[in-house]
Amino acid sequence: MEGLGVAQGVWLWVAVVGVALASVAIIAALTRTPPRYRRRLLVTVCFVAGLFYALEFFLPTREVVSENGMVTRQNFLTPFIPTLISPLAEVLAAFILGLGLFSLLRIHSGNVAKRKPGYYNSVALILSAVVMLVIGLWTNWTESPPDGIRATYGYLFNGLYQNMDAAMFSLIAFFILSAAYRAFRIRSIEGSILMASALIVLLGLSFGVIATQGLPATGMASNLRIETWSSWVLGVVSLPALRAIDFGVGLGALAMGLRIWLGIERGALFGD
Amino acid sequence: MLHADENWFVAVFMGLLVGLILWRIISAMHGRLPFIRRIPGLNAIDEAVGRATEMGRPILMVPGLSGLDIVGIQALNIFRHITRTAARFSTPIRLCVSDAALYAVGQEVIQEAYRSEGRPEGYDPDTVQFISGEQFAFAAGVSGIIHRQKVAATFLMGAFFAESLIFAETANTVGAIQVAGTTLTTQTPFFVAACDYVIIGDEFYAASAYLSREPVPTGSLAGQDMGKILFVVCIIIGCISFSITGPQYPADAPLFYKMFGSGGWEELLRALRGLVG
Amino acid sequence: MDPTTDKRSNILWKLQNIDRRILYLLLLVVVAIPVLWPVTMPNAIDPMSESLWKTVDATPPDKIILLSSTWSKATRGENGGQTRALLEHMMSRRIRFALSSFTAPGAQVILDIVREMAPRFDYVYGRDWVHLGFQASANNFVKGINADFRKTVRQDFVEKRPLDAFAVMEGVRSIDDVHMVIEISAAATHMVWMQFIKPGVLVGFCPTSVMAPESLPYYSSRQLAGVLWGAKGAYDYEQLNVRNGTGTYGMGRQYMAPLSAAFALVILSITIGNVAMFLSRPGIGRGGTAS
């Protein structure tokens, strides 16, 4: 971090272990805090964090010229975003990822230990996670990892993981077909309008252009081209509805954010 | 958008919206509760839980790819209500998340829901599962749970992307009753095609008020509606102004541009001074 | 009941309730045929694609383009074609660029593509392009680079060196020195840029078809400089590249025929289901009227 210096060598490890121990101590202390005080602490932290961004947004700014000659508008809080908030968020994200991995291993090792039905799936998951973790760390730990490790990483990440990911995504095409076949039945006027719009857009985005490609691209006759119809459905009929929904969603998010920030929201985050 | 003084219009507009929401919250706290219309998707929660209870099969709740953000927290609000209903009937539940932070909060929420129904022993830590942070690994994991456990009801609430239809169609194959809601307009059509009930747009945020009927969320909902009226007024002003200024905006309408474009406070004051003379 | 009517009703019922496995098999066959025997489909270029092409083409020599890759190989069919078409255009015009990603796989997939294409255009790492890597906190990354690249990104992704070590970053201090940001994504990550980027910076968006409608309001309000709509957008961009001598045909054209075939099957299946439903209504085909 700028101004704080960067630990090197042994001190880096001392810093890592020290921070890890301190974090464990903080987490343990928080876990033992009675729920009533924990909630107060949560509300306070939430308010202070929200206040930072609110003040950063509303406080007047002035032009600041950096040593590189760059001119930006800043107030006294702005420099903390890249130097403090960003690294803090990254550290938190890393911590939380560890928590997720712990949950995954706890549930699946439990499945194996209790020989629950399908426990062999859990064995496969744990093995995959451990192998990927070891190979991934080994590959990225050193400047030039052994060829065998690099090749294994390539095989696992590019050859296996990425293609399995692609296979899952490709399932959507099959599901779209079965869902469309089942759902698009003309049972009402609204259903007919919905289906007509869907057909126009589908045709306009694909082979439908063949039917009207003989028509001129400009002038009155261009209005009869299927892609013009498709653009009209998307841009004139569908777009205002999308905007209206987005306005509502944005307002909902603003209201909820406000309630959380001020600590007046109950329910999931702050309890009853 | 960086700072308020770089675009005064956004700052003032946001201030107005916040003011309206807070005003209606305070009004509601003083007993002026607004009427909330019926939302079929939220009414279906009891039906779905009842069906799962009859069948003796679990209820699956998925917040999509939501993290610990506004959408994720609202999803947990809804899941908390579902869990409390399920706890009353001892119906098993599953909550699958793709974000580790949401997993941590989700565990707390579900445990607290069981406790508040007087059934702390009904909580099993394994009911809340972190599956994977990767989109399609998560989709594969959840689909596997749907198939293996033959869930009776699914609640898909949160931020969904391309994986939405994988969940909805997989649950359809096992005959689950499905209630879905997302703030993302792109996924709503998929849910409409594959699910029994769909919560559209800001109905997702209205759920807190609808389910709890407490003054704060109910008042907030009324404030949101007033905000929508403000949006409509702005749209009408925009339409009229644009019709007057014509297609050469902003060249033909420097004052209008300074007011509603990306100008700062100083530019606005300068423009107003020029107008007054 | 008349046996003929019974049989007909049975067929109509079957046509309304085709087993999903048959539909899946049909889709597999219909998509596989144009993949194995490629067919060139006609295409009408979308104005959104053209707008993006023109904005990229207008990059001044002293500015760079920031290419954000938030996709994995799962959406290679759409985002892969878009990425290649964009890179061909940029490399043939000798536009310098920086890469970044909001996901770990996204950082790797685009790196692989650029490494594969770079020798063909004599693009050298550090001189013509640099990789800023995976950014765990998207919001803070965007807010950070609004003010300063070097304070936000301490080192590059490939050589793990400070950004000052690379000639491509010379004169690039903040987002002001970036001509445009292009988000290639399988999700609605354009919202991060919409919300937090400094006003006035051009943003292009290349989503998958599933996510594309989400971007329409922002293109219409000119907050997005252009949009490539899934595989069709990639084909549009390739056509524009070929027309202007800045690239060749690739994945976009290759995938347009399977896409069209799949759409045709969707339309056909919907039609069959509806016709069967209509014919099986009481009165139809028995001298009565539809109700």
Gap between the Cα atoms of A115 and A119, Å rounded: 6
Q: C240-252: per-residue pLDDT in tens? A: 999 999 999 999 9
Q: Are C211 and B162 in contact (CB < 8 Å)?
A: yes
Contact (Cβ atoms closer than 8 angstroms) between residue C148 and residue C201:
no
Gap between the Cα atoms of A68 and A58, Å rounded: 27
Q: B12-27: per-residue pLDDT in tens? A: 888 999 999 999 999 9
Q: Which of C47, C72, C151 sits opposite A162 (nearest CB)?
A: C72
Strands A71-74 and B177-182: unpaired
Q: Are A238 and C216 in contact (CB < 8 Å)?
A: yes
Per-residue pLDDT of chain C (291 residues; tens, 9 = 90+): 455 556 556 888 889 989 999 999 999 999 999 999 988 888 889 999 999 999 999 999 989 999 999 998 888 889 999 999 999 999 999 999 999 999 888 998 999 999 999 999 999 999 999 999 998 778 778 888 887 888 888 889 998 899 889 999 988 888 888 999 999 998 888 989 988 888 778 999 999 988 888 888 888 888 899 999 999 999 999 999 999 999 999 999 999 999 999 999 999 999 999 999 888 877 665 443 333
Contact of A249 with chain B, judged by CB distance below 8 Å, is answered with: yes
Q: Which of C176, C217, C269 sits opposite A242 (nearest CB)?
A: C217
Contacts of A172 in chain C (CB under 8 A): 210
Gap between the Cα atoms of B151 and B272, Å rounded: 64
Mutation target vs B (from A251, A254, A261, A266; most B CBs, 10 A cutoff): A251
Positions of chain A with pLDDT lower than 70, given as ranges: 1-8, 66-71, 268-272
Average pLDDT, chain C: 88
Q: Are C27 and A174 in contact (CB < 8 Å)?
A: yes
Q: What is the DSSP letter of C245?
A: T
Q: Name the burial class of residue A132, with classes exposed (0-12), middle (13-18) and buried (19+) by CB atoms within 10 angstroms of its CB.
A: middle
Nearest-Cα distance to chain A for B203, in Å, is 8
Neighbouring residues of C53: CB distance < 8 A, sequence distance ≥ 6: C89, C226, C237, C240, C241, C244
Q: Backbone phi, then psi, for C161, in 5-degree steps?
A: -120, 160
ipTM here = 0.88
The pLDDT score that the predictor gives to residue C32 is 94
Average pLDDT over residues B122-128: 88
Q: Are B73 and A269 in contact (CB < 8 Å)?
A: yes
Q: Are C136 and A199 in contact (CB < 8 Å)?
A: no
Q: For B205, what's the count of Cα atoms within 13 Å in the CB-facing half-sphere?
A: 32
Contacts of B136 in chain C (CB under 8 A): 72, 74
Q: Which of A57, A168, A256 sits opposite B3 (nearest CB)?
A: A57
- CA Rg, chain C, in Å? 24
Q: Are A70 and C173 in contact (CB < 8 Å)?
A: yes
Amino acid of residue A227: E
Q: How many CB pairs under 8 A join A and B?
A: 183
The pTM (predicted TM-score) of the whole model is 0.83
Chains in contact with B, counting 3 or more C-beta pairs less than 8 Å apart as contact: A, C
Q: Backbone phi, then psi, for C68, in 5-degree steps?
A: -100, 125
Q: Which of C136, C259, C266 sits opposite A177 (nearest CB)?
A: C266
